[in-house]
Structure 1
Amino acid sequence: MVSSPPRPDARAGGGAARQTLRERMLTALAGDPNGTPDWVRALADGDDTGYFAEDGAAWVVHGGMGTLVAGIRALLVQALHPGALAGVHDWSRYREDPIGRLTGTVRWILCVTYGSTEQAQRETARVGRLHTRVKGEYTAGDGEARGYTADASDLVTWVHLAFADAFLRSHQLWGAPIPGGADAYVAEWATAGKLMRVPAPPTSEAELQAQLDGFLDRGELRRDERVDEVVRFLRTPPFTGAMGIAYRVLFAAAVASLPRRWRAMLGLRRAPWPVVTTTRLVLAISQRALGAGPRAQDFARQRLSRLAQAH
């Protein structure tokens, strides 16, 4: 539910069309054609190792190419909670500035995962300030009108669950083995949930699934015209050219990765072609296009190396 400042519309082409594929991808992900805006370089700063261990579960999952699928999947699932969707519908600029919203989310993920505790807390506070004005009313799954705020416990819980599930499942399909397995990732990312004031974030894969199922079993989720609007928007590539083609594959991958009942609620069907294999190819091409330039992890390792040398 993060709002973002205006940014050139990627759908319009223009200057973006003259950028290389790598520059276009990095602009979409980091808001910078070199992939190293100030907040990425700041990962090298700080006086502690941060919340997550180097090359641990969170580092590996969030550094994998499966995150390109996970972001789409998370938005699809989050849309099923009418309260979370109301916040996005009423306050987010996702229609006018889809890339800005994407880079805002990526920034929070990378700062919390790879930054010092001070940077992670500062970034979380920045997101919190954006959320202070987010409030309104929505029609709940039982048909009753309810008020919402961005920090309501059920809404922050749902957003956390959808995020953790999307990144975990996408990595399981298209990523390397997770150190410590799925339970380690869920337990580690519970720390981020606590930063966002999730009252009881899950700490195991089974608990994650149980909490997700609970929202559905209690009738808190629903599909309506707003959900259909989000699905139509996400189905349409926010890019042109090769990135547009790749996005269509990533969207199909996000749909294919969903359990059947989630797909049914969203009104989506799995594509009739080998999605998993095709996605693996697209992710490999994307990784090659990004090249071997410095990544968030590299700046974080500079901080860890400096701290190790100081001791």
Structure 2
Amino acid sequence: MTDFGLYGPGSVTWKVHDEPILFVAGLRALILQSLHPRAIAGVAQNSDYKSRPAHRLEQTSDYVITMIYGTTPEAQRAAARVRGIHSRMRAHDLFTGEEFRLDEPELLRWVHVTEVESFLTVARRAGVRLTDAEADRYFDEQRRGAALLGLDPETVPGSVAEVERYYADMQPRLAMTKEAADTLFFLTWPPMPFKLGWTPVRAAYLGVASLAIGLLPAWARRFYGLPGIEAADPAASLSARMLRLSLLAFPWALVRTPMYKAAMKRVEDAGLKI
């Protein structure tokens, strides 16, 4: 029997993650994650993302692609590597000075939820047609990846309504810290490689970063001291739709990753269609 991994053809996950605009979702998730004081402390005190942003982005992208399109053993090995890294890392609370582990369930859950919610939200607001039932299914499917990271799936929101309640419950624990502000600035204005700092590439990236911020929940924008009026949401959605249409004109088959191509080959060999 063909091993399609954690999800496979017919899953909402494959439908959502076939969209190139999800790179905007990755940036949105990082900005949102930074509002959790312990989450951003863990990153700031253990990561070299500022000195090697491209390396960090590549690692994260490889992990997500492996979890989505890899075989079950490949996904298990990728998750085991991440668990091993997190289990060895410690950081100090910004407010109490208390030392904590980076694999605390609350932190793992926060990173997981903000990531998958960002993927789904950006896809829907960019025009990917998903029913409410499919949106719920996506969150439920993503519990499989959360379980591999060491979370009890029953403690992970598995529907749109559960994610909304989770965010409402988490907001009293969030804060606009110096580290969060620093991360927002870095993600909006990072160093450009290959001396591209004062070229149209900078302007294009700034547009993408602005879109990621515009697609944040209104309550998250307010934490950052930005306009949190929901009347601005339609403009961000329109920009996302326009970007998606532009991206779809690119021949993405030429730059698909080996992991994605291997998954599609398994589908073809099984005589299935997506």
TM class, shorter-chain normalised? 0.7 to 0.9
Mean alpha-carbon deviation: is it higher for 288-297 or for 192-201?
Answer: 288-297
Question: Whole-Å Cα distance in 1 between the matches of residues 233 and 70 of structure 2?
Answer: 41
What is the deviation of 1:287? 4.1
Summarize the alignment of residues 274-293 of structure 1 with structure 2, pairs less than 5 Å apart: 274-289=235-250, 291-293=252-254
Q: Does residue 60 of the first structure (1) align with residue 18 of the second (2)?
A: no
Structure 1 residues 95, 290: closer, same or farther in 2, change over 3 A? farther
What is the deviation of 1:283? 3.6
Question: Whole-Å Cα distance in 2 between the matches of residues 78 and 272 of structure 1?
Answer: 20
Q: 1:300 — aligned with what?
A: 263
Q: 1:225 — aligned with what?
A: 178
Spell out structure 1 runs of 4+ moving beyond 6 A.
270-273
CA deviations 1:138-179 (Å, max 9, x no partner) are 13xxx4443221210111011111112111111111142237
Q: 2:215 — aligned with what?
A: 257
Question: Whole-Å Cα distance in 2 between the matches of residues 79 and 274 of structure 1?
Answer: 24
Give the 3-state SS of the residue equivalent to 2:88 in structure 1: coil
Give the AA of the match of 2:107: L
% same residue:
28
Summarize the alignment of residues 39-188 of structure 1 with structure 2, pairs less than 5 Å apart: 48-139=3-94, 143-178=95-130, 180-188=133-141
Unaligned stretches of 5+ residues in structure 2: none
Question: Whole-Å Cα distance in 2 between the matches of residues 55 and 98 of structure 1?
Answer: 34
Total equivalences in the alignment? 259
Question: Whole-Å Cα distance in 1 between the matches of residues 63 and 15 of structure 2?
Answer: 16
Question: Whole-Å Cα distance in 2 between the matches of residues 148 and 288 of structure 1?
Answer: 46
Unaligned stretches of 5+ residues in structure 1: 1-45
CA contact (8 A) 1:73 1:254 kept: yes
What is the deviation of 1:232? 0.6
Give the 3-state SS of the residue equivalent to 1:151 in structure 2: coil
Question: Whole-Å Cα distance in 1 between the matches of residues 157 and 11 of structure 2?
Answer: 18
CA contact (8 A) 1:79 1:85 kept: yes
Question: Whole-Å Cα distance in 1 between the matches of residues 165 and 202 of structure 2?
Answer: 36
Give the AA of the match of 1:257: L
Question: Whole-Å Cα distance in 2 between the matches of residues 122 and 71 of structure 1?
Answer: 22
